[in-house]
């Protein structure tokens, strides 16, 4: 398929480290592909190779029909001619230029009136008109990030690369920048590749994800694919111990939300800013899941405990870990719980047993689903493809 | 006071500084960002005038520009004149002699520019030359001024090289330092003292300017909180 970015590279540093792997990013639709992995895993190197700031020893990078790198053919396109936007981790704004001049940097070839118009448009889009004549050193972290976004977008890049765009910001600025990134991508109609080590950022921003560990791209796919079917135990471990389920808020009553997960209902305590969100990731730590033998009492009004969620399921696997036992349940979706070894003895738990998983509503965490392509929403209409 | 000598020194210093900025800037850029091992060799070569006695330097320049050398012959065929004991010859000598004073501050300044600023410029479509003029040079200007001031002052104060290459022709190669030397030889201490004082004050002012500029004017990045 030509309508995608194909990246298949190997880059090694003489001092160790580097990146090896293959991934694709769809073109022509706004989307966010998140490169996820711990720090030092090679994520940034991957991004720099795509931008042309690093030159892999071996590989092929193709942007649609354009070849950016083909080591076999000795082809290499320098960063100047790739037309990608790069947002660096610490913004890297030009300190000797005002906000306006920073944004206008990549527009030198445009005639003056057109350049001014473009800068004004971006100042407005990122809501930084008031900062136009200030110097970067006088700006806050969130403001600098906005300017960095505007500067990268100004020349009309065909792909946006973001290196840890939310790192170093406080909570409210993070939410703002998250929202803005989505907004500008939709506005520009371009895909983005975003590097992060933060799992919540993956959930909040990603359509697709690539998991990178120790310099190797281990798995690439939609968020749901990767989270539901990790390619290896190493990927599963990198993704974390928590259960991550795709859900939809169907009702909010006070601070209690009802979330549909598959054909089940879960109750979760919601905060103010999540009231209007419908698509969510349900994040649930296995240690917050209690297990009761038997499965008779799922119906409401029959509670003998305060916990709001009772899910009947079947034990599919018992995996011994260092200090606890991980219990895999099938409740219509896969759910992990951890129990102690004595608890297992007392319950005499075996694979195939029917049990009830009990979860407090306050232990269920909801992360807004940030997908630009709105995968799995309603009747499957995808906004991007309708462009 | 010997105004002819002072004017000559100023003229020499001005042209040396101007030409060294033109030659030194690309050389400094290459030394700062080049990747070949040849760089080390050139770096040492540029620094040589710092440690060589001016007479040694002057001797080699005299040999290299004399009518027996290919360089001297080439100059003679092109212009019909000879380099040694002329203002132009003095200029060549001054440029070589002050090379490290111009190049080294520039190399330090160029290397000090955050590499990612250049990368950001590349991603925004700037070629290497454009990046240099729009990012590297504006961020290095205090060092450019420092380099100019040092070169200028250093040229005003040179003695040995001038004596070797230029000799002592009033209005042509007789610079301030030579003039002072002559006055002292002639036991004319008052005249020597006046000119010496002018040089002392001038050098002091220049160094004050340089040191106030070399403080990091753009103390703004990277702002780690």
Best of A94, A119, A152, A169 to substitute, by most chain B Cβ atoms within 10 angstroms, is A94
Asked whether A280 and A248 are in contact (CB, 8 A), the reply is yes
In chain A, which residues have their Cβ closer than 8 Å to the Cβ of B123? 51-53, 79-80, 82, 84-86, 152
The C-alpha angle with vertex A282 and arms to A47 and A252, in degrees rounded to 5, equals 130
Domain assignment present for residue B220? The answer is no
Q: Find the mean pLDDT for residues A116-141.
A: 94
Determine the pLDDT at residue A376. 39
Q: Do domains A4-239 and A243-368 have the same CATH topology?
A: no
- Compute, in degrees rounded to 10, the torsion defined by CA atoms A186, A188, A192, A198: -50
SS3 A297: coil
Output the CA angle B75-B77-B78, nearest 5 degrees: 65
Instruction: Outline where chain A has alpha helix (H).
Output: 43-51, 99-104, 112-125, 141-153, 171-188, 199-205, 223-228, 233-239, 341-347
- B92 in a structural domain: yes
Q: Would you state the pLDDT for residue B80?
A: 83
Which two three-digit tokens encode residue B180? 């002072």
Tokens linked to A319: 């995996």
In a domain? residue B69: yes
Are B122 and A80 within 8 A, CB to CB?
yes
Q: Up-side HSE of residue A17: CA atoms within 13 Å toward CB?
A: 10
Are A136 and B220 in contact (CB < 8 Å)?
yes
Residue range A4-239 in CATH 3.40.50.300: yes
Residue A386 pLDDT > 50? no
Yes or no, beta carbons of A92 and B225 under 8 Å apart: no
Question: If you average pLDDT over every residue of chain A, what do you get?
Answer: 87
Whether A209 contacts A202, CB under 8 Å: yes
Q: Is B114 on the interface with A (CB under 8 A)?
A: yes
Higher pLDDT, A300 or B32: B32
The CATH number of the domain holding residue B152 is 1.10.3720.10
Interchain CB distance below 8 Å, B123 and A84: yes
What pLDDT score does A122 carry?
95
Q: Label residue A219 by pLDDT band (50, 70, 90).
A: very high
In tens, the pLDDT along B54-96 reads 889 989 988 888 888 888 888 888 888 888 888 888 999 999 9
Nearest to A106 by CA among A83, A78, A76: A83
Residues in B closer than 8 angstroms to A145, CB to CB, are none
Q: Which fold has domain A243-368?
A: OB fold (Dihydrolipoamide Acetyltransferase, E2P) (2.40.50)
Choose among A312, A307, A313: nearest CA to A359. Answer: A307
For residue range A146-175, what is the model confidence (pLDDT) as tens digits? Answer: 999 999 999 999 999 999 999 889 988 998
User: Chain B partners of A85 at a C-beta cutoff of 8 Å?
Assistant: 123
Cβ atoms of A357 and A310 closer than 8 Å:
yes
Q: Which of A83, A86, A96 sits opposite B218 (nearest CB)?
A: A96
In a domain, B85, yes or no: yes
Of B114, B126, B224, the CB nearest to A80: B126
Please state whether the peptide bond connecting residue A125 to the residue before it is cis, i.e. omega within 30 degrees of 0: no
State how far the alpha carbon of A192 is from the alpha carbons of A44, A82, A159, in Å: 14, 14, 6
Give the confidence band of A298 by pLDDT, cuts at 50, 70, 90. low
Q: Is A358 helix (H, G, I), strand (E, B) or coil?
A: strand
How would you label B49-75 residue by residue, b for 16+ Cβ within 10 Å and e otherwise? beebebeebbbbbbebbbeeeeebeeb
Q: Which residues of A touch B126 (CB under 8 A)?
A: 80, 105-106
Q: Is residue B152 part of a domain?
A: yes
pTM of the complete model: 0.81
Q: Give CA angle at B99 (B98, B105), nearest 5°.
A: 100
Q: Name residues whose C-beta falls within 8 Å of residue A52's C-beta, 6 or more positions apart in sequence.
A: A68, A69, A76, A77, A78, A79, A82, A84, B122, B123
* The predicted structure's pLDDT at residue A279: 85
pLDDT tens profile B107-137: 999 999 999 999 999 999 999 999 999 999 9
Give yes or no for a contact between A278 and A318, defined as CB atoms under 8 angstroms apart. no
> Domain range for residue B49?
3-113+144-213
CA-to-CA distance for B217 and A192, rounded, in angstroms? 36
Calpha distance A236→A226 (Å, rounded): 9
Q: Indicate the range of A110-124, A269-283, A322-336 predicted with least confidence.
A: A269-283
Using a CB–CB cutoff of 8 Å, tell me whether B134 touches chain A: yes
For residue B89, the 8-state DSSP code is H
Among all residues of chain A, which has the CA nearest to that of B134? A105
Contacts of A136 in chain B (CB under 8 A): 220-221
Question: From CA A239, how far away is CA A211, in angstroms rounded?
Answer: 8
Tally of residues, chain B: 225
When pLDDT is cut at 50, 70 and 90, the band that residue A305 belongs to is: confident
pLDDT, average across residues B209-216: 69
For range B9-13, the mean pLDDT: 91
> Are A178 and A146 contacting, i.e. CB atoms less than 8 angstroms apart?
no
Residue-wise pLDDT tens digits, A318-332: 988 888 899 999 988
Predicted confidence (pLDDT) at residue B223 exceeds the cutoff of 60: no
Q: What total of structural domains would you count in chain B?
A: 1
- Return d(Cα A45, Cα B180) in angstroms, integer: 62
The closest CB to that of A95, out of B119, B124, B218, belongs to: B218
Question: Residue B80's CB: how many other CB atoms inside 10 A?
Answer: 7
Q: Identify the pLDDT of residue A224.
A: 84
Radius of gyration of chain A (CA): 24
List residues of chain A with CB under 8 Å from any CB of chain B: 51-53, 78-80, 82-86, 88, 90, 92-96, 105-106, 108-109, 135-137, 141, 151-152, 154-155, 168
Query: Is A53 within 8 Å of B127 when comparing Cβ atoms?
Result: no
Confirm whether B30 is domain-assigned. Answer: yes
DSSP A208-260: EEEEEETTEEEEEEEHHHHHHS-SSHHHHHHH-SSEEEEEEEEEEETTEEEEE
Burial class of residue A214, CB neighbours in 10 A (0-12, 13-18, 19+): middle
Residues of B in contact with A151 (CB under 8 A): 120, 124
Q: State the average pLDDT over residues B170-183.
A: 86
H/E element holding A327? strand A325-330
Burial of B15 (0-12, 13-18, 19+ CB in 10 A): middle
**pLDDT at res. A297:** 56
Q: Could you tell me if residue B79 is inside a domain? A: yes
Q: How far apart are CA B128 and CA A1, in angstroms?
A: 35
Closest CA–CA distance from residue B137 to any residue of chain A (Å): 11
A85 bridge partner residues: A160
Residue whose token pair is 């002018």: B198
* Contacting residues of A for B129, CB less than 8 Å apart: none
Q: Return the percentage of chain A with pLDDT > 90, whole number.
A: 56
Which residue among A51, A137, A168 places its CB closest to the CB of B123? A51
- Among the ranges given (A102-106, A209-213, B145-149, B219-223), the one the predictor scored with the smallest mean pLDDT: B219-223
pLDDT at residue A106 tops 50: yes
pLDDT score recorded for residue B122: 96
The answer as to whether B197 is a domain residue is yes
Map out the domains of chain A as residue ranges: 4-239, 243-368
CB of A85 closer than 8 Å to CB of A78: no
């Amino acid at each position: 398929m030509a309508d995608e970015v194909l990246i298949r590279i190997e880059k090694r540093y003489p001092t160790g480290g580097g990146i090896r792997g293959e991934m694709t990013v769809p073109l022509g639709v706004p989307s966010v592909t998140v490169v996820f992995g711990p720090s030092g895993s090679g994520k940034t190197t991957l991004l720099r190779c795509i931008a042309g700031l690093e030159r892999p020893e071996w590989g092929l990078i193709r942007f649609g029909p354009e070849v950016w790198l083909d080591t076999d053919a000795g082809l290499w396109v320098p960063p100047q001619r790739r037309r990608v936007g790069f947002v660096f981790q610490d913004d890297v704004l030009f300190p000797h230029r005002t906000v306006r001049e920073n944004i206008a940097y990549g527009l030198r070839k445009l005639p003056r009136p057109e350049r001014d118009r473009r800068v004004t448009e971006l100042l407005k889009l990122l809501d930084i008109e008031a900062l136009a004549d200030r110097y970067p050193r006088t700006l806050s972290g969130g403001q600098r990030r906005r300017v960095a976004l505007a500067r990268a977008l100004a020349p009309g890049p065909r792909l946006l690369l973001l290196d840890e765009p939310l790192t170093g910001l406080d909570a409210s600025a993070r939410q703002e920048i998250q929202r803005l990134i989505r907004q500008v991508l939709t506005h520009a109609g371009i895909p983005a590749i975003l590097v992060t080590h933060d799992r919540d950022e993956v959930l909040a921003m990603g359509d697709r994800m690539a998991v990178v560990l120790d310099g190797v791209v281990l798995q690439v796919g939609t968020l749901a694919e990767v989270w539901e079917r990790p390619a290896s135990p190493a990927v599963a471990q990198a993704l974390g111990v928590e259960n991550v389920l795709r859900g939809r808020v169907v009702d909010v009553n006070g601070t209690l939300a009802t979330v549909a997960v598959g054909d089940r209902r879960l109750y979760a305590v919601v905060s103010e800013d999540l009231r209007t969100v419908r698509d969510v990731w349900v994040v649930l730590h296995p240690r917050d899941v209690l297990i009761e033998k038997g499965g008779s009492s799922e119906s409401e009004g029959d509670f003998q405990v305060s916990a709001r969620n009772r899910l009947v399921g079947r034990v599919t696997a018992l995996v011994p870990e260092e200090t606890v036992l991980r219990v895999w349940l099938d409740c219509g979706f896969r759910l992990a719980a951890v129990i102690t070894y004595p608890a297992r003895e007392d319950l005499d738990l075996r694979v195939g047993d029917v049990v009830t998983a009990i979860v407090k509503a306050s232990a269920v965490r909801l992360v807004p689903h940030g997908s630009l392509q709105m995968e799995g929403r309603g009747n499957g209409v995808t906004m991007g493809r309708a462009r | 006071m010997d105004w002819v000598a002072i004017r000559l020194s100023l003229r020499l210093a001005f042209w040396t500084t101007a030409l060294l900025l033109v030659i030194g800037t690309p050389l400094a850029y290459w030394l700062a960002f080049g990747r070949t091992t040849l760089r080390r060799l050139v770096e040492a070569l540029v620094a040589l005038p710092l440690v060589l006695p001016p007479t040694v330097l002057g001797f080699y320049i005299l040999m290299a520009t004399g009518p027996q050398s290919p360089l001297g012959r080439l100059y003679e065929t092109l212009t019909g004149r000879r380099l040694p004991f002329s203002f132009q010859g003095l200029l060549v000598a001054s440029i070589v002699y002050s090379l490290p004073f111009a190049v080294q501050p520039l190399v330090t300044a160029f290397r000090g520019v955050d590499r990612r600023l250049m990368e950001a410029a590349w991603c925004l479509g700037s070629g290497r030359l454009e990046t240099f003029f729009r990012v590297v040079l504006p961020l290095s200007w205090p060092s450019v001024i420092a380099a100019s001031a040092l070169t200028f002052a250093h040229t005003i104060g040179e003695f040995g090289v001038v004596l070797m290459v230029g000799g002592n022709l009033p209005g042509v190669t007789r610079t301030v330092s030579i003039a002072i030397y002559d006055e002292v030889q002639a036991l004319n201490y008052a005249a020597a003292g006046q000119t010496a004082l002018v040089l002392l004050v001038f050098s002091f002012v220049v160094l004050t300017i340089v040191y106030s500029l070399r403080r990091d004017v753009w103390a703004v990045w990277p702002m780690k909180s």
